Amino acid sequence: MTAGQRLRVIRERLGLTIREVEGATIQLARIKNSDEFAINLSRLSDFETKGVVPSVFRIYSLAIIYKIDFLEIVSWYGIDFDESSGLRNLIPIPKTHKAELLQHVSKLNVPVRLEPIFEINKTSNLGRLIERWGVVPLAFLQQLADAKFTYGYIGEEDFTMYPLIMPGSFIQIDESKDKVRKGRWRSERERPLYFVESREGFTCCWCEIVGRQIVLQSHPLSPVPVRTLRHPQDAEVVGQVIGVAMNLNQSAHAVPVPEEHSELTSDG
């Protein structure tokens, strides 16, 4: 159905005549102290039968009278706020700002069921643990459904990159960037982080390829020692970490006593 046909169906389903809708919008216009909210008989007929697009004021009036969501009516005219999170990067914004655009997102695809083997204390690949996706009214998670990326969860007992990345964080991984880059990094935040799968599980860390081995470099302040593993036999890079969602409440974590980092430990 067209948007106009939808409006007519809803009006008739509610048992309202065009004249009754007109009278209600006039009352609303008086309350709002603006004639923009009023809809006369002929204009309402144009909306329903001729494809005329109402102004935002009149869409608001119809939403109030028909008791339906304003954004639902807007979506009938091709403006879908549920896709706004995926379109927010059309142009780079130079200054820090509030993400006002996403405040009205109503439906997003998010994981609604995880595999029973999910353990909160271990770092995991969420892409493999998600059993089913569903539509849930949450914001900022639309990109979880993007097949280009996978998502990891830093276990509650994983202090590999502490305090740069806290246990309990969620990370976004670009699987197309599965080669360890070499370079001189000006800061720890500039140095690429990688999500690595080994026989012992998953690790989020800095990496370096040395011959046929991969060095899994933990943060200098972390209690977790550096490890070297055979590559790719014993450890494989899933991808580069490109995003982090992190709880900054450090008091929630009991940090183990650091071990010596000066020597590399080899598992083979």
pLDDT digits (tens, 9 = 90+) for 225-249: 999 999 999 999 999 999 888 877 6
What pLDDT is attached to residue 261? 52
Residues 74 and 155 in one domain: no
Q: What is the pLDDT of residues 166-217, one digit of tens each?
A: 988 888 889 999 999 998 889 998 999 999 999 888 999 999 999 999 999 9
In which domain, by residue range, is 229 found? 146-266
Pair 261, 159 in one domain: yes
Q: What is the pLDDT of residue 116?
A: 61
Assess whether 152 and 255 both reside in one domain.
yes
Q: What is the three-state SS of the chain? A: CCHHHHHHHHHHHCCCCHHHHHHHHHHHHHHHCCHHHCCCHHHHHHHHHCCCCCCHHHHHHHHHHHCCCHHHHHHHCCCCHHHHHHHCCCCCCCCCCCCHHHHHCCCEEEEEEECCCCCCCCCEEHHHHEEEEEEECCCCCHHHHCCCEEEEECCCCCCCCCCCCCCCCEEEEECCCCCCCCCCCCCCCCCCCEEEEECCEEEEEEEEEECCEEEEECCCCCCCCCEEEECCCCEEEEEEEEEEECCCCHHHCCCCCCCCCCCCEECC
Number of domains in the chain: 2
Residues 71 and 150 in one domain: no
The answer as to whether 126 is a domain residue is no
The answer to the question of residue 131 being in a domain is: no
Over 50: is that where the pLDDT of 138 sits?
no
Total-model pTM: 0.52
Domain presence at residue 102: no
Answer whether residue 88 is part of any domain. Answer: no
